[in-house]
Amino acid sequence: MPEISVVCVLHENLAPERHVERLAAQSVVSDMEVVLVEGWHVVDSGPPIRRAMERLAGRLELRYLDLPPRGRAACWNAGIAATTAPLVLLLGDDFFAGPGLVGEHLRLHRERPEENVAGLGPGIFPDYMQVSPFMRWLEDEGKLYGVSFTRVDLEAMARFFYGANTSLKRSFLERVGPFQEAFPYHGWDDFEMGERLFGAGMEIAWLPDARADHEHPITLGDRRAVMGESGESAVIYERFHPGRHIWHDVVEVPAWRLAMSAVKRRLAHLVRRDEASLGRHYNAALNRAFARGYRRALVGRPSPATPRPRAVVGAAADR
């Protein structure tokens, strides 16, 4: 039986074969299994994944679940249910594993057998990517995940959980319960899960050497769309965790003031052209998008939560 199960929910990865090959190159490949789950995906990874399974037969224990359309949380639950190991590693589909990633997680749990200990590894834009100023700002300021992996704050890490490079004992995960499937989008399901895990006493161990290359170009327009969905998800989160939350400081600001702030910050940056004004411009634009999504959900007009039609991964993307 494998010692650790890697679960990955496919979403926007345009190089799934290379993603699998990175996992097959892990130093502890004989101690692991991999379950890939497709159900909320922009592209159809089936053909390249099956090619990888044929080519890697005997080298990597790999299963591919092609599910009817559903949200990421439901895909997480299905993938975890299909695994067998006592350890579960949640890995993002745009996180290309470094050669020691799984081994670092496995080492931690061998050394720390306490049920509540969880491992946290970083995902960083690699040097070989063309990283835009906006992407660098997202990463350095911690606006991409909630913490920064390039400007590490260990105190913040101790209270952070995400479903992209995190490992847990199966028994602890099952005791806390499944991902909340009410979240329709690609996000906030892991934030809500993290709150329950911390409530049950989870202890995070920071694993800087369990690094993944985050291969995902992101534009300001892309992030505004995600922040709109995040605003809707915040309303769903409040159904399960009512009370005052930090984002209320943004969503309670009148819409016209947020719009004016976004325009003002953008114009200020066009004049000053410095990093400080650029960051304020980005913040204002993303806050406005989040608040608009939040208000959409409050009035019962959320964005369509059905997955977009899959496009078969093309030959160029399979390289």
Dist CA 55 CA 105 (whole Å): 26
The pLDDT of residue 273? 87
Same-domain status, 81 and 105 = yes
Q: Where are the alpha helices (H) located in the chain, listed in sequence order?
A: 16-24, 46-55, 72-81, 101-111, 133-140, 154-157, 170-176, 189-199, 220-240, 248-251, 255-272, 275-298
pTM recorded for the entire structure: 0.90
Same-domain status, 121 and 44 = yes
Same-domain status, 265 and 287 = yes
User: Over the stretch 153-211, which tens digit does the pLDDT of each residue have?
Assistant: 999 999 999 999 999 999 999 999 999 999 988 889 999 999 999 999 999 999 999 99
The pLDDT of residue 8? 93
As for how many domains the chain has, the answer is 2
Same-domain status, 66 and 211 = yes
Same-domain status, 243 and 172 = no
Dist CA 119 CA 104 (whole Å): 9
User: What residues pair up with 9 in beta bridges, in sequence order?
Assistant: 37
Q: Which residues of the chain have pLDDT under 50?
A: 305-319
Same-domain status, 211 and 255 = no
The domain in which residue 33 lies consists of: 4-218
Same-domain status, 191 and 63 = yes
Dist CA 313 CA 171 (whole Å): 36
CATH number at residue 208: 3.90.550.10
Same-domain status, 167 and 207 = yes
The pLDDT of residue 312? 34
- Residue 115 CB neighbour total at 10 angstroms: 17
